[in-house]
């Protein structure tokens, strides 16, 4: 494609991704809002009184140290069925987008997706101080499919949309606590201003974080037909595999939106699990509707803690 045409398409795509993220009508926003409501409702409750994730009960130092098997090495015959997977306690998963201080141009709705730097550092410090251990998607997958042990107070941190501050701000903050994360990359934005470069994505991968696919330019999976699967899924997967030198096993739905028709399409392309947002999982396919909550820019560490306990 001619480079100016590419630039125009990319700019349009990013504008549309941004617009959808800040709009007040998107379903993803509804999910984000219900998470906010849940957190508000929970605020004031003593976290100690609330139910904790049952996964925490399986804690051992050993589980902390043991690398999880790669998803492809788990024999299908040994994997639990959908009902068993659905019945396991959910591991809390947080979803972040931008980590930067708010400006006068940020709308009220956008601020759920923009966590100010100090607020982010306070949220991550709270997780460490509260004894949470970050787990990889491979650990999560092994836990869900085989009941493999997880470290004490497991949590997964995920970052969507390739924003540069995920590398410049989140990465050093997480490193302070030896936390690892999952980064869902939208490949159209690679190397553009304010987004991560291919080299930065490779570095994150080399440092023990996991890279997942978040499509080419953030179009809604529910609307894909024919060639869209090639553009939005096949080509970005290939790009990410070339960058990282690793197989890409995990996918995050743009805006958290999915439909069951997407599951076989993703499976036949080699994905083993997919992540949505706060709405209910699909009972027939819980691995392809793993829930996450958006850690809002408005949240204090305490509100985040209450929301984690309440939502999972
Ligand atoms: Zn996104």
Tokens of 175: 């490193």
Compute, in angstroms, the gap from residue 219 CA to the centroid of ligand 1: 9
pTM given for the model: 0.81
- Quick one: 264 exposed, middle or buried, by C-beta within 10 A (0-12, 13-18, 19+)? exposed
Q: Which residues of 194-227 are buried (b: 16+ CB within 10 A; e: fewer)?
A: ebbebebbbebbeeebbbbbbbbbbbbbeebeee
The pLDDT of residue 11 is above 70: no
DSSP code of residue 207: T
Distance 184 CA to ligand 1 centre (A): 8
Rounded CA separation 72/169 (Å):
33
Give the number of domains in the chain.
Answer: 1
Alpha-carbon 251 to chain mean position: 9
For residue 15, is pLDDT > 70?
Answer: no
Q: Give exposure, 228-242, as e/b (b: 16+ Cβ within 10 Å).
A: bbebbbeebbebbee
CA of 177 to the centre of ligand 1 (A): 26
- Residue 26, pLDDT score: 38
Return the CATH number at 282: 3.20.20.370
Q: Give me the pLDDT at residue 72, please.
A: 78
As given in the structure block, the two tokens for residue 71 are: 């998803």
Query: How far apart are the CA of 65 and the centre of ligand 1, in A?
Result: 31
How far, in Å, from the CA of 187 to the mean position of ligand 1?
Answer: 11
pLDDT value at 120 more than 90: yes
pLDDT digits (tens, 9 = 90+) for 70-102: 887 887 777 899 999 999 999 999 999 999 999
Q: In terms of residue numbers, what domain contains 66?
A: 3-311
How many whole angstroms from 214 Cα to the centroid of ligand 1?
A: 7
Ion ligand 1: protein residues whose beta carbon lies under 5 Å:
160-161
Strand pairing partners for 273? 250
What are the tens digits of pLDDT across the range 145-187?
999 999 999 999 999 999 999 999 999 999 999 999 999 999 9
pLDDT tens digits along 244-275: 999 999 999 999 999 999 999 999 999 999 99
């Amino acid at each position: 494609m001619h480079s100016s045409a590419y630039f125009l398409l990319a700019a349009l795509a990013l504008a549309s991704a941004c617009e959808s993220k800040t709009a007040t009508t998107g379903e993803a926003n509804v999910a984000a809002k219900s998470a906010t409501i849940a957190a508000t409702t929970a605020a004031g409750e003593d976290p100690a009184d609330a139910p904790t994730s049952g996964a925490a009960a399986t804690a051992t130092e050993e589980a902390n140290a043991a690398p999880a098997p790669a998803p492809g090495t788990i024999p299908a015959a040994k994997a639990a069925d959908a009902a068993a997977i659905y019945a396991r306690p959910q591991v809390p998963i947080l979803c972040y987008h931008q980590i930067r201080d708010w400006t006068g141009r940020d709308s009220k709705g956008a601020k759920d997706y923009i966590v100010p730097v100090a607020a982010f550092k306070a949220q991550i410090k709270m997780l460490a101080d509260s004894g949470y251990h970050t787990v990889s998607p491979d650990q999560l997958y092994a836990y869900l499919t085989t009941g493999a042990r997880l470290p004490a107070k497991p949590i997964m941190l995920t970052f969507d949309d390739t924003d540069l501050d995920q590398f410049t701000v989140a990465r050093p903050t997480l490193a302070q606590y030896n936390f690892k994360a999952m980064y869902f990359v939208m490949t159209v934005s690679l190397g553009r201003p304010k987004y991560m470069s291919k080299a930065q994505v490779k570095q994150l991968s080399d440092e023990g974080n996991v890279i997942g696919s978040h499509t080419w330019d953030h179009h809604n999976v529910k609307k894909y037909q024919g060639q869209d699967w090639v553009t939005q899924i096949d080509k970005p997967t290939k790009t990410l595999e070339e960058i990282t030198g690793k197989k890409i096993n995990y996918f995050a739905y743009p805006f958290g939106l999915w439909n069951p028709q997407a599951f076989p399409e993703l499976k036949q392309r080699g994905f083993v699990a997919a992540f949505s947002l706060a709405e209910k999982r699909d009972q027939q396919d819980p691995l392809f509707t793993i829930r996450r909550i958006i850690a809002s820019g408005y949240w204090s560490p305490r509100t985040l803690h209450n929301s984690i306990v309440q939502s999972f």
